[in-house]
Amino acid sequence: MQPEQIKQALKDWGHAVQNRYAVSRGDRTVHVLQQVREHAPGTAENAMRDLVGRDGRSRRRFMGERSGSDKLLIPMLPTWAVDPVRASNDADRPHDNAEIPVDMGIPDHLRWVDRLVAAMERDKPLMGACVREEYCTVGSQTVKARRVGEKLGYGTGFRLWMFRSELDKAVAWMEGFAAAA
């Protein structure tokens, strides 16, 4: 394989690694508030007509009729005489379901690059870190060199020219493996 082909394969691999986890949008086609509006009565008049009897009067009338007391001439029990209806306050602002990351994996034609980079990281950690930082993250090479230096404990002593040198060595190392295979 030519160095240009290996660099292109590394770019494709880095793109696949960056976009490996896709976010499942679920049922985001209709907003939560739109779903609620479909069940809402619409106007205040419609709401009052549909919600009649929900203030507890119908329940108190029902309990008054079945109280069994002939002396009770009141058609409706007072609120203090009625057992409370247990309810929980589950009012909350509308919220969407959590986004679920879905692992898309590495494409089959790039698995060899993934295996080579993993082997490189085991054998030559500095070269592996430089390859992974160059092709899988965003930023200038100066920033990437600083990140590699911080990751591997070199601090600010790891310079840009060292990063580029390790990157060239890594591509040459991958060329050797590709030629041997």
pLDDT tens, residue by residue, 112-153? 999 999 999 999 999 999 999 999 999 999 999 999 999 998
Does the pLDDT of residue 7 top 60, yes or no? Answer: yes
Residue 163's CB is within 10 A of a number of other CB atoms, namely 23
Does the pLDDT of residue 163 top 60, yes or no? Answer: yes
Does the pLDDT of residue 176 top 70, yes or no? Answer: yes
Does the pLDDT of residue 58 top 70, yes or no? Answer: yes
> What is the mean pLDDT of the segment spanning 3-13?
91
Structure confidence at residue 37 as a pLDDT band (50, 70, 90): low
Structure confidence at residue 169 as a pLDDT band (50, 70, 90): very high
Domain-wise residue ranges, the chain: 3-22+105-180, 32-81
Nearest to 164 by CA among 138, 128, 130, 137: 130
Please, are residues 60 and 77 in contact by the beta-carbon 8 Å criterion? yes
Please give the biggest Cα pair distance in the chain: 103
Q: Phi and psi (nearest 5°) for 101?
A: -75, 135
> What is the mean pLDDT of the segment spanning 32-41?
62
* DSSP 8-state assignment for residue 82: S
Helix (H) or strand (E) holding 102: strand 100-103
Structure confidence at residue 60 as a pLDDT band (50, 70, 90): confident
Type of residue at 20: R
